[in-house]
């Protein structure tokens, strides 16, 4: 794994987080408890800060970055960022599922209890309504989220990733 400071700013990673051997976390990155950063994922806090809450999983190949002096990235609690997703200079609130291969651009806000569908492109300045599913290119609201999806997908995936991380932390 590559964990290194940039311009004197060090990543802050609690001991109960899992960082895969070939993941990269650099610069002004602050993680909450029970986070996981998976194989080939990159979290680059070199040009602005990145703050992550508790129970955030950054799956294989995902990239989290920001925009120099303009747009930091803030991620809430209980968030899953799917394989090969790009989260860039935006705000992701609590209980969100970012689908595989999706892109969230600068200055977007993804409100709580939302799902961004796999492959969706959330264009600059988009405000994703709480409790909704956005899909497509550009991403648009396709429906309201059900309680079943909140518990059956958003919470299940975030909890499962804590379990998966524990498999790699055993001696």
* Digitized pLDDT (tens) for each residue of the chain, 171 residues in all: 899 999 999 999 999 999 999 999 999 999 999 999 999 999 999 999 999 999 999 999 999 999 998 999 999 999 999 999 999 999 999 999 999 999 999 999 999 999 999 999 999 999 999 999 999 999 999 999 988 888 788 989 999 999 999 998 765
User: Which residues neighbour 148 within 8 Å (Cβ) at sequence distance 6 or greater?
Assistant: none
Neighbours of 152 (CB within 10 A): 11
Considering the entire predicted model, what is its pTM?
0.94
Assign domain 2-169 to a CATH class.
Answer: mainly beta
Cα 133 to chain centroid distance, Å, stands at: 16
DSSP-assigned letters across all residues of 27-72: EEEE--TT-EE-TT-EEEEEEEEEEE-SSEEE-TT-EEE-BTTTB-
């Amino acid at each position: 794994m590559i964990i290194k400071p940039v311009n004197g700013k060090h990543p802050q990673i609690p001991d109960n987080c899992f960082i895969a051997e070939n993941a990269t976390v650099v610069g002004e990155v602050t993680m909450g408890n029970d986070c996981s950063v998976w194989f080939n994922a990159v979290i680059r806090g070199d040009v602005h800060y990145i703050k992550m809450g508790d129970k955030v999983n950054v799956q294989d190949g995902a990239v989290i970055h920001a925009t120099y002096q303009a747009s930091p990235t803030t991620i809430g609690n209980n968030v899953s960022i799917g394989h090969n997703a790009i989260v860039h200079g935006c705000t992701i609130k609590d209980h969100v599922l970012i689908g595989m291969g999706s892109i969230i651009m600068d200055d977007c806000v993804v409100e709580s209890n939302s799902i961004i569908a796999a492959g969706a492109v959330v264009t600059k300045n988009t405000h994703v309504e709480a409790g909704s599913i956005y899909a497509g290119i550009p991403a648009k609201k396709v429906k309201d989220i059900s309680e079943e999806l909140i518990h059956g997908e958003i919470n299940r995936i975030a909890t499962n990733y804590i379990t998966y991380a524990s498999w790699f932390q055993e001696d």
